[in-house]
Amino acid sequence: MKVASALLRHSIKPYRPSVLITFQTTRYFSLTGRKMDYSNIKTPEACYVDFCLVPVGTGDASVANEVAEVQKLLKASGLKYTMHSAGTTVEGTWDQVMKVIGQCHSLVHQKYGAKRVQTSMRAGTRTDKKQTAEQKVKRVEDILASGH
């Protein structure tokens, strides 16, 4: 209790970040009032998204058939993808990747009668260089192989 009352006696200053965040270009800002023009923001040129799609309400605990069908759709899309034990990583432009994940949802709803489809996603983008998911993994493997 003494510690709490001692803390209350000291004035707590509001948090002010020490880093100023700036955009590389100002084309998103209007010249009057420096308001953000959100309608002109483009989606990233390249991204990778790791996603795990879970059909709900199919009456079966196994999702192997649904996953296999999703993999066929991804192959037909022409995008680069890698399946792993807990999901799939797909690469392309932001719009391409989000479109194909949406198509995966529709496929599972329509073909398997899933009343709900839940998807968790982790997306990554870079602006300084192009880097595939495979290159990211190789970089870490190279570090491990070098003994660092």
Indicate yes or no: pTM above 0.75: no
What is the spatial distance between Cα 52 and Cα 24, in angstroms, rounded to a whole number?
33
**Topology of the domain comprising 47-145:** Alpha-Beta Plaits (3.30.70)
Q: Where are the domains of the chain?
A: 47-145
Q: What is the pLDDT along the chain (148 residues), one digit of tens a residue?
A: 555 555 455 555 566 555 555 555 545 555 556 788 899 899 999 999 999 999 998 888 999 999 999 999 999 999 999 999 999 999 999 999 999 999 999 999 999 999 999 999 999 999 999 888 999 999 999 999 998 7
